[in-house]
């Protein structure tokens, strides 16, 4: 038993003395995370019938965002949902809706979170805590406060807000 232990000790000492460099090189190789950017850049808004709660297709005469001169949409029929591009430099987005139900203003608030994924992938910006700051609609609700992308269902529409007419 003693002989075995002494043998083990001598093996350990040999490894320490003569193989340190190789082990150091092997074990210092670091791993970097995959380049998966979950940051969504849009806020999704769906239109619903206030009576039935079903999806409703409406006519949009015009849709404009404060800070962008051109219209996002003009004279479009049968619109069930729209997506609004988030301004990464501010924490609010003001949208002007002109629909078959009248003219309404919607101010949406959000919080920006920045994180570095890796040197290869760069930084990721995620917008969360979506909220309604001010609006003129009869009925409106936030159904999802996150704009993060859902990679499990590529066809799904990331709906944040529901407007009931």
Task: Catalog residues that contact another protein under the rule CB under 8 A.
Answer: 2, 9, 12-13, 15-17, 20, 23-24, 27-28, 33, 41, 65, 67-68, 85, 87-89, 111-123, 125
Report the nearest approach of another protein to the CB of residue 27 (Å): 4
Q: Which is nearer to another protein, 146 or 165 (CB)?
A: 146
CA distance 64 to 157: 21
Which residue is it, tokens 């996150």?
A: 146
Report the nearest approach of another protein to the CB of residue 67 (Å): 7
Residue 120 contacts residue 35 (beta carbons within 8 Å):
yes
Q: Which is nearer to another protein, 87 or 99 (CB)?
A: 87
Report the nearest approach of another protein to the CB of residue 119 (Å): 5
Q: Which is nearer to another protein, 33 or 53 (CB)?
A: 33
Return all residues near 105 (Cβ < 8 A) that are at least 6 apart. Answer: 94, 95, 96, 97, 134, 135, 136
Report the nearest approach of another protein to the CB of residue 54 (Å): 31
Q: Which stretches of 86-147 are assigned E, i.e. beta strand?
A: 92-99, 102-118, 122-135, 139-142
Q: Which is nearer to another protein, 105 or 118 (CB)?
A: 118
CA distance 33 to 123: 12
């Amino acid at each position: 038993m003693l002989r075995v232990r002494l043998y083990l000790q001598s093996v350990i000492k040999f490894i320490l003395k003569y193989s340190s460099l190789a082990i150091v090189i092997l074990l210092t190789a670091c791993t970097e995370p995959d380049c998966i950017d979950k940051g969504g850049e849009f806020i999704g808004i769906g239109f619903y019938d206030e009576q039935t709660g079903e999806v409703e297709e409406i006519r949009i005469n015009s849709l404009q965002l404060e800070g962008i001169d051109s219209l996002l949409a003009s004279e479009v029929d049968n619109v069930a949902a729209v997506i609004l591009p988030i301004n990464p430099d501010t924490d609010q987005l003001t949208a002007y809706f002109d629909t078959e139900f009248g003219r309404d203003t919607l101010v949406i608030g959000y919080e920006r979170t920045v994180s570095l994924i890796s040197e290869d992938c760069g930084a990721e910006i995620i917008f969360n805590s979506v909220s309604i700051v001010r609006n003129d609609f009869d009925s409106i609700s936030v159904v999802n406060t996150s704009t993060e992308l859902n990679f499990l269902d590529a066809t799904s529409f990331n709906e944040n807000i529901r407007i009931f007419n």
